[in-house]
Homo-oligomer: A and B are copies of this chain.
Amino acid sequence: MNIYRNPPKKDWNSLLKRPELNHDALEQQVQQIIQDVAENGDTAVRKYSSEFDAYNGLDLEVASSEIQNAEKEVSEELRRAIEEAYWNIQTFHKKQLHPQGNVVTTAGVRCWQKPVAINKVGLYVPGGSAPLLSTVLMLGIPAKIAGCQEVVLCTPPDEKGKVSASILYIAALLGIDRVFKVGGVQAIASMAHGTESIPRVNKIFGPGNQYVTMAKQIVSRNTVAIDMPAGPSELAVIADATSNPAFIASDLLSQAEHGPDSQVLLLSDSGHMIDEVKGELQKQLELLPRKDIAAKALENSKMIRLNSQEEILEMINAYAPEHLIIVTENYAELADQVLNAGSVFLGDYTPESAGDYASGTNHTLPTNGWAHAYSGVNMDSFYKKITFQEISRYGLHNIGESIMTMAEAEQLQAHSSAVSIRLNYSEDA
């Protein structure tokens, strides 16, 4: 960890700068795979599955019997944990739905907004040594609450064409229609363009490595919507002299173990606290199986002492962290002042890992400063809100003059005539 004490404001920008994500070099390579899948469908998908996942089988879809039988391969303990997380995530997301009423904006003019589930959604779940089973919950639960008609899941297989049983178990639990053992760029391309086996979807969700991220970005330009732009995961912690340094160190490390490019930040008005956290970090780091990864992430990480909580909040809002933990004595007061963050964790007993798995909030969150403008995945992500309007003859009489005046000011005569032809029409004729 690098420690900064009272850096002058003019240096904040460079201090908070994230590593440049230059994916341009990847773009051509990823673009070629996408085009190949768009043109050659399953044949191309199989080629890349063989090349990148060493899977040479013909089957691209997981058999429904395999999905139904996955339960047996998942320990009872893990099933219980999954079911508890399921309950909490479902409870929180269901409460985000709001009934939409009619609005009479002028007598005779009735407007309303109707949320309609996106028809077909695709969920991408990275595999590898540690399958991200929690991602299936975080994306699958809101998709099923929304009532998306088709929910498709892609995740990479091992050499034998097997997919993690815990992922299949959750798919069965949620009622996810179809699971494909396809990963990487070829998975994103398949869901964007459709192949003989894999249906084309309207929106793709989910995390992934830099190839997957680039593929999502490319297909989102012309073909399909995506959840949000992605970058390395981030955590910022705000602490004061009363915080618990061991707890903080455990949170910083749980972020750091994600990958060497993880971004970790500690802000405090107490230099003493920073020193204590530093000591705790060294102690706890030694105990971690992924300590090499975590140590690497910590090399780029920063502990910053600032003079006041006011300055700390200003810096946090400029940085817009994906995750923000506030463990000061007055955390509720500071929480009110957070303007830019993905998800916020309050108090000593709210570790980030609670939100990663089981508190109920979503863990798919905006990184890389996108929290300035993007929300994390939430129920809105699975809906379009279509507007409707119904105007009576009387209503059009009321607002017609205004429409015609404005249309003519914009030199759009036909827009005006669409009103006048109606107002001049005699229903008795």
The 7 closest A-B pairs by CB, nearest first: A225-B373, A105-B360, A81-B405, A130-B411, A81-B402, A88-B105, A351-B418
Partner of A349, one of B221, B350, B391, B414: B391
B385 touches A380 (CB 8 A): yes
- Chain B residues, CB < 8 A from A416: 353
B340 touches A257 (CB 8 A): no
**A232 contacts chain B at the CB level, 8 A cutoff:** no
B203 touches A407 (CB 8 A): no
How distant is the Cα of A77 from the Cα of B405 in the complex, in angstroms? 7
A387 touches B395 (CB 8 A): no
| A406 in contact with B101 given A360-B111, A417-B253, A418-B353 (CB within 8 Å) | no
Pick the interface stretch among A36-44, A64-72, A131-139.
A131-139
- Chain B residues, CB < 8 A from A317: 119
A132 touches B402 (CB 8 A): no
- Chain B residues, CB < 8 A from A407: 353, 356-357
A residues 176-210 touching B (CB-CB < 8 Å): 202-203
- Chain B residues, CB < 8 A from A406: 78, 81-82, 85, 133-134, 357-358
Partner of A395, one of B221, B349, B419: B349
Residue on B with the closest CB to A399?
B358
| A81 in contact with B401 given A111-B359, A384-B375 (CB within 8 Å) | yes
Pick the interface stretch among A3-11, A92-100, A154-162, A299-307.
A92-100
How distant is the Cα of A339 from the Cα of B120 in the complex, in angstroms? 12
Residue on B with the closest CB to A376?
B387
- Chain B residues, CB < 8 A from A247: 418, 421-422, 425
Chain A interfacial residues counted at CB < 8 A? 128
Partner of A402, one of B84, B373, B378: B84
Interface string of A239-262 (1 = CB under 8 A from B): 000001011001101101110000
B412 touches A254 (CB 8 A): yes
B342 touches A389 (CB 8 A): no
A414 touches B217 (CB 8 A): no
How distant is the Cα of A222 from the Cα of B24 in the complex, in angstroms? 12
Of the candidates A78, A202, A384, the one having the most CB atoms from chain B within 10 angstroms of its own CB is: A384
How distant is the Cα of A128 from the Cα of B11 in the complex, in angstroms? 42
Question: Which A residues lie at the B interface, using CB under 8 A?
Answer: 21, 77-78, 80-82, 84-85, 87-89, 91-92, 95-96, 98, 101, 103, 105-106, 109, 111, 113, 116, 118-119, 129-134, 166, 202-203, 217, 221-222, 224-225, 229, 244, 246-247, 250-251, 253-254, 256-258, 284, 287-290, 294, 317, 335, 338-362, 366, 370-376, 378, 380, 383-393, 395-396, 399, 401-403, 405-407, 409-419, 421-422, 425
A254 touches B411 (CB 8 A): no
A361 touches B84 (CB 8 A): no
B387 touches A350 (CB 8 A): no
How distant is the Cα of A284 from the Cα of B414 in the complex, in angstroms? 9
